[in-house]
Amino acid sequence: MNAGNRSRVLLIEDGALEATVLIEAAERAAPGRFEFAIVATLDGALRKLGRASTDCIVLDLELSGAATPAAVATLRARAPATPLVALGAMGNAGLARAAIRDGADDCLEKSAFDARQLVRTLELALERGAARQRLLEIARRDPLTGLANRAQLDESLAAACARAARSGRLLGLLYLDLDGFKLANDALGHEAGDALLKAIAARFAGQLRAGDLLARPGGDEFAVVLENLPSAECAARVARKLIATLEAPLIVGHEALRIGASAGIAFRPTDGESPAALLRAADRAMYAAKRRGGGRIGCSARLIDLERTRPARAVAVAHA
């Protein structure tokens, strides 16, 4: 919700009179509560959702040229947590049920609602949307470290690949596995192991740009999605920085522990076009680094030697 407690509502309505009636009704019942943006087509709405933040969507189910109720499913796929209120013709219960089934939070009859009912419907939809967003965030977060989990990594990497395909910019994926973590975890117990993981996550997060995604896919593995890289060497620098953060001992209880890390780097499009290909390549590079004793950075053999000045710490990985 934006400043001043005004909720931004995207109204998808191709009838100028109907749009005016609805906006004026909302303003009468709740002056200044909503800020409306009007688009006349589903395509226009999808473009708007890609450019601007929206708190709530209101869709006319009788929109010209829209395959309703497929329009509801399309909008829900684009904005899974955003509340959506449908507007239908009086007496068309079948269309209303289909809209609810496809993801609408509520459906109002266009010629039957009054101003108070409209505002109440919008407020309830906003509450449901906020609850849905909280559940989505919980489902996409690692409960131990608060980082993105594997589900969010997969989702974010897919989106990053799509953006890289459009822009032609270099996309990098780092995959890191901790060296010596299992020994410490077995010796000190899982509680100490959890404390280690949280401390390491905090150190890694402090080395990244605001737009970089840091994830813990599971166990003692971490991943970083690096978009819009100027060069492959930039990803190598990030990997070196992350490994270097672990040179200082980690204090857990009364123990000072030294945990290292091995990193694998994969790039789009050098190592593949898809998220799955990048994950496989980065994982393969990381395990090659571990096999060479850990504390190293693995990369594709198709790339220049990213660690040319530090050959002892570089591992080249041949493609299968």
Active site residues: 220
Q: Nearest-5° angle of CA 121, CA 122, CA 123? A: 90
CA separation, residue 10 to residues 56, 143, 210 (Å): 6, 33, 28
CB atoms within 10 A of CB 263: 28
Smallest Cα–Cα separation from 35: which of 62, 61, 9? 9
Q: How far apart are CA 263 and CA 289, in angstroms?
A: 7
CB–CB of 314/307 below 8 Å? yes
CB–CB of 164/229 below 8 Å? no
**CA 94 to chain centroid:** 35
Taking every pair of Cα atoms in the chain, the longest distance, rounded to a whole number of angstroms, is: 75
The tally of CA atoms less than 13 A away on the side-chain side of residue 287 is 6
CB–CB of 178/290 below 8 Å? no
